[in-house]
Structure 1
Amino acid sequence: MKKRRDAVKTKFSLLQRYLLISLMALFLTSIWSYSAFQDIERENRRIVEEAIPIANAASELLRLLLDQELSVRGYTYNQDTLSLEQYEATKRSLSETIHVIRQMEAFHESQIELIKAGDVLTANARRYSGTDYINQFRDVDAAIREDIDNIIQQASIRSDTASSSAKWVIVIVVGLRRARADKAMRRA
């Protein structure tokens, strides 16, 4: 009777070992999965911190450029200081400049100088030339938006790939550990 009890205890101990190994494997898989999902969250945070502010900045630039154009047109037409002050305030808001923005500002400056010099007729004749610069900016804006879309799309693909990999690893490891645990229980 005692011998049988020792045999049961030994088999039970072996079963406990297999279960412990299975639990450890599941624990390690969980840690790996947690790490993979942390990477996914980090990538998503990067999208929010990098891509979305770029989109907001691009939208803000178009608004500011339109505001500048309208302010110069108003100043050209009315020669009022309010339009000139609005232009100057908008100009200060454009801290990051690109080539197209510099061209547009040069045009606006020349318009204001023409008005200050008393050449209102020439300034009025050139009043709608700024539209060409805005059209050039639209191309730049479209390129910026395309880059943003590419960043978001690539990040989404990487996120989906990481998530899919994590799921497959979990399924495979859990399946293998379960098969080993079942095999160990059948032996017991």
Structure 2
Amino acid sequence: MMNTFRLNLILIVIIALLIISSIWSYTAFLEMEDASDRIVEDAVPVSNAANDLLTQLVNQDTAVRGFIITEESRYLDPYYDGKAALLENLAIIDRYEEQHPIMKDIIEEEALPKINNMRVYFERQINLVKSGQMEQAREQINDGKSTMDSFRETDLKIDQDNNKIINDAWEASNRAGARAKNMIIFSGAAALTAVGALIYSFMSNRKLTALSSFDGLTKLYNRRMFDKFMKEAWEEAADTQQSLAVMLMDVDHFKLYNDTYGHVEGDRCLKTIASILAENAGSPFIPARYGGEEFVVIMPNTTAEEANAAAERIRHKVESASLPHIASLSNRIVTISAGAAAFVPDTSLSPSDLIEMADEALYEAKQGGRNRVSVSRQSVS
């Protein structure tokens, strides 16, 4: 009788443990699902929007400079597009900023005042050109440079907080996943429930990796992963004292392409160019989508001369694809302009210096007629 009682008691304890472990496993499952949703619905959108602010501000600055130099009103189209995209990004950030107080402070206290200053500068320059005061506009063409340079420092703070937002979301997801794994150890009898949660965790993490690492349209690395790889490549080049190069490329007259063929064809065009870039960049180069119609390639252990050759190869491949572009102001096919820069990192320089040099070279390529490659004059072969 006593043995039966003890057996029944053991069975009751085992059943209780099964119930408890099942409940804990299910709770961990819900936590993983919630953490995944927060990344997809909150962290990724605010991160992408914040990362794109500098790109759109640079697009506006480039367009206004082109308008001042050429007096051609077609340069105002990319300016207004960049302005609209920047406002859209700010609206996305505003929607989620209460969950991210540090990002809120950076945007409200640093980014917005500088954006407003640049907005006043852009409108003043445009009005001067429209009113025929060209000399005054050209004399003031660099008045916004200090604010743009200052905004690049703000962009670094935004990038640091973006990484924290994504990493915090990842840690929450990983903690939930670890809890699900512990449930398997806690009770082998609840293995089916726990294994289900573990499988979900694996599939969820794969989904999150794709969402937070790759651009949804082009399947290239996104801006977040570019920043990560750029930091790693910079540190390695500094340690080994090897030349590091960066290439920025932009689809020529892409706004006109979208206006002519529609956004669906525009997306298809970007995917085609991304595929050409991925196939022809070559190892160990790392291609990524920088924003909009702009792409970037990290080129470890590469001189300026080698970067120029690689960029020319990619430019030629895009040109050879012969994608029709009847609205292009420079060709009847889709082409790209590219800017490259290279040097050996030292303590007086930063990754942003190399990117800025490549950006200036890209601007020169555009001003030189497009469908060409320009290498920064400051590059060291």
TM-score range, shorter chain: 0.7 to 0.9
1:101 to 111, 115, 130: 115
Measure, in 2, the Cα distance between the counterparts of 1:150 and 1:139: 17
C-alpha separation in 2, matches of 1:164 and 1:56: 28
- What's the secondary structure of 2:166's corresponding residue? helix
Determine which of 9, 13, 17 is the counterpart of 1:25. 17
Residue 137 (structure 1) aligned with residue 151 (structure 2):
yes
Aligned to 1:146: 160
2:166 corresponds to 1:121: no
TM-score, length-scaled by structure 1 = 0.73
- The within-5 A match list for 1:1-188 is 11-12=3-4, 15-95=7-87, 96=90, 98-165=112-179, 167-168=181-182, 171=185, 174=187
Deviation at residue 31 of structure 1 after TM alignment: 1.6
Q: Per-residue deviation at 1:35?
A: 0.6
Gaps of 5+ in 2: 91-110, 189-381
Change beyond 3 A, Cα 1:118–1:137: same
Could you report, residue by residue, the CA deviation over 1:44-89 in whole angstroms, capped at 9, with x for unpaired residues? 3212322221221123222211111111011101111111233223
How many residues were matched structurally? Answer: 166
What is the identity percentage for the equivalent residue pairs of Structure 1 and Structure 2?
Answer: 33
User: Larger radius of gyration, structure 1 or 2?
Assistant: 1
Q: For residues 129 and 30 of structure 1, what CA distance do their matches in structure 2 show?
A: 65
5+ residue gaps, structure 1, are 1-6, 176-188
Distance 1:57 1:120 in 2: 35
CA distance, structure 1, for counterparts of residue 130 and residue 39 of structure 2: 47
> Which structure is higher in helix share?
1
**Quick check: which one's strand share is greater?**
2
Which secondary structure state, in structure 1, belongs to the residue aligned with residue 132 of structure 2?
coil
TM-score for the superposition, normalised by structure 2: 0.39
Kindly state the Cα deviation for residue 165 of structure 1 after the two structures are TM-superposed: 4.8
Offset, 1:166: 5.2
More RCO (CA 8 Å, sep 6+): 1
What root-mean-square deviation, in Å, do the aligned CA atoms of Structure 1 and Structure 2 show? 2.7
